Structure 1
């Protein structure tokens, strides 16, 4: 059995875990990341690629604003721009009630600096000649945007490795616990047993984070979601903004090569780690897309996909200390909307390790909302990481 001793062990190499690893490694901490597949290949890599603040619950907006600043310096941080552009995010209304909801959101979010502009009537047709008749208005957040998750998420992990983190891919954790002195994770890597001991453990295991929390007596009511997505052949540029729809059902964006990425509906599970877009969801998605964007009427779909995302009942993540085990931190349950806030969530976790507190308030994301009678174990959290060696 191979053994590794480290200061901080992060289980999960998606955008949140890799961002935490990068921040900690840059601060001089010894960090090890264990990823069951390839870093950024799960929900962090299969998502739609929207980098939006608009539409988030008010409790997420401070975190989203911090992430907005991080995204502005993406190339300097991770070495690539990841096709990130501030194209704008336009949320469509298909009824007067939808438009009222968008107006209320614009007013609520005003203190957070989203600078949302409402567009309707003649102005809508003038600014959006590509829209079909299904839309009656919308709200534009001009500095929101889009990026390629298949490039960005793995790049965070590579950047953490360059900063000094030890990143081990295709390494599945079988068991984890605390032996009274250190966290101990037993894993399998390349057919061989691996044991990692650490002073702090960060649970960023995505849809599988509930199982890891369960090793420490915490019940996270996680369910899995499987987004159904598709991409078209390249067509002439016509869509200036990333699009969403009030009330959900469809979202789309056009990339620089001309392909249109579409999402909506749910796929189906193949096994505990794989999913596919369903035939029915794609057939339901296409007429909605054409009703909003007539330019797609005769366009060919060239690929569909899905993946496994972790969802919590209130559609908010868990981000912060364990209730039962000092030194354990959680960062999971981003409910299909973690791509934009992922870098800020990772940095917040790193701040908890380094300073015992985060610059962004995380109370709304506490595990305690699922266990209101529970309280932190005596002395928790035992942060920041002490300067000592693990035997």
Structure 2
């Protein structure tokens, strides 16, 4: 069996690895460099709190694979199960948290509810004005700069052909499967996986499958190093608008995001920009989470091209129009945690036709094609 994976981000590189692990002859095509799209722009959050509940089986499966990542890939990708703390500053946030906590328990996620005293005792310096929080002790973070190259390198060790600079120019159905013409030549295989991120909608439309997807750029930054005092990933049950989030890496820098609207991105170039005019408001949204950020220098900001589907859910599964074509794109800025699980689930579906977890809510034919 042979397969072409289009897109060398976390979803595509993980899929290529798990396909190769199942003995499939794989070619991984990336238009730029492996892991330089939405994945490298990611915050690195590995959290299950706040997810769309039918996505939870996939999230659980992926969390288990994150714990095995170093053994699977032969490289430390800086997965750290430091916990996910989500602060509460008002009655609406408290109600939202309790509603989610109760609804998530039948799906296998049991998060702790902390009152104000517990937050301040267990996490000094975080959220001094918080009235409570949720805490998921087994979640945490990983390094977005390491994970895709690690999967691609491991896939290559298993025999996968990894081709960078291979922008797709044309794709056609043949008697034997598919022929994909790229800037680096022509490739053929029996199956194709569309893991092209924000460009996934364009590829799907070639096969009569329209997805309402728009490209946006997250607003990310990192501070100068500070004394290490924050262990968990920190977010907020936002009362209104955009909630900020932050984490401290082992070198002491604070990585942050959220708090402001994402920017628009032109798919023709794929170049996403950070809007510096929004930096003061973004930092102001983070001060209630961690007041020690006041006066700290921001040393770098960045963005990346992410695909956001109209219903804020990804597209995953088999094509509804074309046998042998599969999709895994449009993860709407919350796909980092899911990445290893997506790769394993898609590889199993392509190699055996079997589903490891339910994917029905993410079918591409939930959208009208007309």
Bin the TM-score by the shorter chain: over 0.9
Contact 2:116/2:130 (<8 A) preserved: no
The C-alpha deviation readout for 1:252-303, integer Å capped at 9, x for no partner, is 0000000000101223547631111101322211111122211111211000
1:386 corresponding residue in structure 2: none
Secondary structure of 1:353's aligned partner: helix
Q: 1:112 aligns with which of 101, 107, 120?
A: 107
Q: 1:34 aligns with which of 29, 33, 36?
A: 29
| Alpha-carbon offset, residue 115 of structure 1 | 2.7
Contact 1:223/1:312 (<8 A) preserved: yes
Distance 2:177 2:160 in 1: 19
Distance 2:335 2:47 in 1: 10
Do structure 1's residue 226 and structure 2's residue 226 form an aligned pair?
Answer: no
Contact 1:41/1:154 (<8 A) preserved: no
Q: 2:275 aligns with which of 268, 274, 278?
A: 278
- After superposing on structure 2, the runs of 4+ consecutive aligned residues of structure 1 that deviate more than 4 Å are none
- The residue correspondences of 1:189-208 to structure 2 (distance < 5 A) are 189=184, 194-208=185-199
**Structure 1 residue runs without a partner (length 5+):** 1-5, 375-391
2:329 corresponding residue in structure 1: 332
Distance 1:269 1:332 in 2: 17
2:303 corresponding residue in structure 1: 306
Q: 1:262 aligns with which of 240, 256, 259?
A: 256
Q: 2:78 aligns with which of 75, 78, 83?
A: 83
The C-alpha deviation readout for 1:102-124, integer Å capped at 9, x for no partner, is 01111111133333101113222
Q: 1:19 aligns with which of 10, 14, 18?
A: 14
1:95 corresponding residue in structure 2: 90
Contact 1:232/1:300 (<8 A) preserved: yes
| Aligned residue pair count | 364
| Alpha-carbon offset, residue 19 of structure 1 | 1.1
TM-score (norm 2): 0.95
Do structure 1's residue 289 and structure 2's residue 283 form an aligned pair?
Answer: no
Distance 2:316 2:269 in 1: 24
Distance 1:74 1:334 in 2: 21
1:185 corresponding residue in structure 2: 180
Q: 1:268 to 1:134 in 2, by over 3 A?
A: farther
TM-score (norm 1): 0.90
2:356 corresponding residue in structure 1: 359
Distance 1:96 1:133 in 2: 16
The C-alpha deviation readout for 1:128-156, integer Å capped at 9, x for no partner, is 32124442211000000001110112111
Q: 1:348 aligns with which of 331, 345, 348?
A: 345
Rg larger in structure: 1
**Structure 2 residue runs without a partner (length 5+):** none
The C-alpha deviation readout for 1:31-67, integer Å capped at 9, x for no partner, is 1011001111111111000011111110110000000
1:249 corresponding residue in structure 2: 243
The C-alpha deviation readout for 1:329-349, integer Å capped at 9, x for no partner, is 000010011111111111111
Do structure 1's residue 47 and structure 2's residue 42 form an aligned pair?
Answer: yes
Distance 2:264 2:281 in 1: 15
Contact 1:231/1:261 (<8 A) preserved: yes
| Alpha-carbon offset, residue 368 of structure 1 | 1.4
